[in-house]
A and B are shown apart, each in its own frame.
Chain A
Amino acid sequence: MSSVQEVFAARPGTLNRPRRWSWRRRPRGSELAWAVAFAVPYAWVFVAFVVYPVAYGLWMARDPALYRELLTNPLYARAVVNTALFVGLGVNVKMFLALLLSGFFMRRRWWIKALLPVYMLPWALPAIPAFVSFHWMLIGEQGLVDTFLSTVLGIPGPHWFGDRRLALGANIVAYIWKWMPFWTLTFFAARTAIPQEIYEAAEVDGASGIRRFTHVVLPLLGNLYLVCTLLSTLWTIGDFTTVSLVSEGAPAYSTDVLATLGFQYAFEAAQPSLGVAAVLSALPVLIPLAIVLMRAVQTREVQL
């Protein structure tokens, strides 16, 4: 188990609490100077590679006409819907399954323990070859999935990338395949940090199975689940790799998300400003999410 998980797993009451800061002793001159010096490398990264590019991007996409052009473009509207579907379904299904599977991996059977390293493989496997492999598994009659369907089950497989819903579903499944292990491990560690006594007490009170899940696990992991879901949502809204490699936007650009659409505008249609405008139009959703995430992280700190 990694310490990422250990950290997320830290729950109130499970560790000895560091005492609150003694506020009487603020950093003095030289120590304050050191604190600033230690923070400078990151501050420099933040300004040079976050603030400046964002400001530059906003400046590139400053013309209101760009947004009017986007709003009248049916491809853009569809990309917004696709992004919402991809993120909404992908993230939530993934997180919920990860939460359930983390409970499954808690079972004390050697063959379940032995499965865990294999199950983690998709996370360690680089995204590019994995998604290319997904694309070819579904490429049509010659793909592995359709071959399996026709030779073993005797049913003709569908033309996955010829139908918008199937292609969108393929993107979501590939995305879940790739990222579910990471979050499963996170929740798995969080569950191992729940003291055994709490489970036993729940057992004595007659809570087992589903009731143990709703009355013990969910309340304890609630805030962690929220933080992880928010982080994952923010990361997924900008996901370019999955869609660009699995469905490649097929059929006829109908499964493009904002990231792939912006990329096309910028590099294939040579309209970089329009591309930046397309992706930055998601900011009104992203910034509130990031602020909620910051808040949720800080509440966790209070709880600890």
Chain B
Amino acid sequence: MSLARAAGVSARRPRARLRRAVVEIASVVLVVALLIWSLAPVYNMLLIALDPDDGDIEFEGNLWPPEPSLHSFGTVVSQGYWLVESFWRQLGNSFFIGLMTMILTVLIGSLASFAAGRMRLTRGGFLASAPLLTYAVPASFLVIPFSRLMVSYGLANSLWAIVAANVTFATPYAILILRQYARLIPIELDEAARIDGASAVQMYRLLYLPLMAPALAAVGTFALLLAWNEYVYQYVLLSSTRNMTVAVAIAQFFNTDEAPWNYMMAIALIYSIPPIVIFYALRRYMAAGLTRGALRG
């Protein structure tokens, strides 16, 4: 009996080893494929940005830059070309929109999710999911009426109009996430605080916000990336060069007869850096700040 089993095991073992090797090789192939998949468009941006020419760029069908040069990055940073003459100001505008969207989404979302989740309202669940109705009308569908309304709100050509649009479309998701995350915080904590005489504001500020920090960071990152990715509202609502954002400035390159595509790609690469930095910085913070384990048991 045991002999037979031993024989069976040894007969199976080479096959298992073969299987493991096949799985391992397949994993390596998949990793390489995913690397190429993720990096190819970035490599293409770099390929064009490293072109040394001034102005007109012709695509010559290169797989790697024949004479790489940082000339285009220098031109953009020193604002040495008419299309990039307000680059730093435009980057500042993008930062303003991104950070304001982040702050307001976190603030408004946390207040609403606190009211819906922790204030013992009868219809709290409904209140938290009703904002999702916003997504019944996708952002780009509203841009036409939105742009007209902004004129009547006195926000035409204002950065605040973009912030308003971003907050409108980031907050429902934020409320959904915050509301779900708040379920990890035992309601007994609130009850105890209430017995100790804490007011609603104190409970929000001293209990809810600190305990929700990881979820708030996640929601903030989401809002920031939404603002940085957003294009159509900025394109429609911001027209003057000084109020333009980098996203719109990139689109401006298509409206001219010249073709300084290396400058455009240099802008694009510089524009890509802040969200990547913030994303990875907050990612570490979020992982460190997770309270899930501490609350268990």
A contact set with B: CB distance below 8 Å: 1-8, 10, 15-16, 18-19, 21, 25-27, 30-32, 34-36, 38-39, 41-43, 45-46, 48-50, 52-54, 56-57, 60, 101, 104, 107, 109, 111-112, 115, 117-130, 132-134, 136-137, 139, 141-144, 146-148, 150-152, 177, 181, 231, 234-235, 237-241, 244-245, 258-259, 262-263, 266-267, 272, 275-276, 279-280, 282-283, 286-287, 289-290, 293-294, 297-298, 300-301, 304
Query: Is there contact, CB below 8 Å, between A259 and B44?
Result: no
Distance in angstroms from B9 CB to nearest chain A CB is 16
Query: Is there contact, CB below 8 Å, between A147 and B142?
Result: no
What sequence of 0s and 1s flags, for each residue 128-154 of chain B, a beta carbon within 8 Å of any chain A beta carbon? 011111111111111111101100010
The answer, among B47, B116, B264, for a CB contact under 8 Å with A39, is B116
Of chain B, the residue at the smallest CB distance from A276 is: B144
List, in ascending order, chain B residues with CB within 8 A of A144's CB.
40, 43-44, 47, 63
Q: How many residues of B contact A (CB 8 A)?
A: 118
B contact set with A: CB distance below 8 Å: 27-28, 30-31, 34-35, 37-45, 47-48, 58-63, 107-109, 111-112, 114-116, 119-122, 125-127, 129-146, 148-149, 153, 164-165, 167-168, 171, 173, 175-177, 180-181, 183-188, 199-201, 204, 214-215, 217-219, 221-222, 225, 228-229, 231-232, 236, 247, 250-251, 261, 264-265, 267-269, 271-272, 275-276, 279-280, 282-283, 286-287, 289-290, 292, 295-297
Q: List 16 A-B contacts (CB under 8 A).
A: A2-B218, A3-B290, A7-B184, A15-B183, A38-B112, A42-B112, A50-B133, A125-B42, A133-B48, A136-B261, A234-B138, A259-B141, A279-B141, A280-B137, A300-B180, A301-B183
List, in ascending order, chain A residues with CB within 8 A of B188's CB.
19
How far is A56 from B100 in the complex, measured between Cα atoms in Å?
26
Query: Is there contact, CB below 8 Å, between B135 and A235?
Result: yes
The answer, among A133, A177, A231, A287, for a CB contact under 8 Å with B268, is A133
Which 3 pairs show the lowest CB-CB distances between chains A and B?
A238-B138, A129-B268, A142-B59
The answer, among B40, B149, B183, B272, for a CB contact under 8 Å with A56, is B149
List, in ascending order, chain A residues with CB within 8 A of B275's CB.
124-126
How far is A245 from B247 in the complex, measured between Cα atoms in Å?
12
List, in ascending order, chain A residues with CB within 8 A of B201's CB.
34
How far is A128 from B138 in the complex, measured between Cα atoms in Å?
18
Query: Is there contact, CB below 8 Å, between A34 and B200?
Result: yes
How far is A238 from B144 in the complex, measured between Cα atoms in Å?
13
Of chain B, the residue at the smallest CB distance from A138 is: B44
List, in ascending order, chain B residues with CB within 8 A of A258's CB.
141
Query: Is there contact, CB below 8 Å, between B45 and A133?
Result: yes
List, in ascending order, chain B residues with CB within 8 A of A38's CB.
111-112, 114-115, 119, 200, 204
The answer, among B45, B59, B125, B295, for a CB contact under 8 Å with A298, is B125
How far is A129 from B269 in the complex, measured between Cα atoms in Å?
8
Known: A4-B218, A126-B271. A147 touches B63 (CB 8 A): yes
Distance in angstroms from A277 CB to nearest chain B CB is 10
How far is A4 from B291 in the complex, measured between Cα atoms in Å?
13
Known: A107-B27, A125-B272, A234-B135. A133 touches B183 (CB 8 A): no
Query: Is there contact, CB below 8 Å, between A136 and B144?
Result: no
Distance in angstroms from A209 CB to nearest chain B CB is 10
Known: A26-B120, A39-B127, A122-B38. A148 touches B63 (CB 8 A): yes
Query: Is there contact, CB below 8 Å, between B187 and A263?
Result: no
List, in ascending order, chain B residues with CB within 8 A of A244's CB.
232
List, in ascending order, chain B residues with CB within 8 A of A19's CB.
186-188
Query: Is there contact, CB below 8 Å, between A142 and B61?
Result: yes
Known: A133-B265, A266-B144. A112 touches B295 (CB 8 A): no
Distance in angstroms from A39 CB to nearest chain B CB is 4
Query: Is there contact, CB below 8 Å, between A262 and B41?
Result: no
Distance in angstroms from B108 CB to nearest chain A CB is 5
How far is A249 from B1 in the complex, measured between Cα atoms in Å?
71
Query: Is there contact, CB below 8 Å, between A280 and B141?
Result: yes
List, in ascending order, chain A residues with CB within 8 A of B164's CB.
45, 48-49
List, in ascending order, chain B residues with CB within 8 A of A239's CB.
138, 140
List, in ascending order, chain B residues with CB within 8 A of A148's CB.
63
Of chain A, the residue at the smallest CB distance from B45 is: A133
Known: A4-B222, A301-B125. A129 touches B45 (CB 8 A): yes
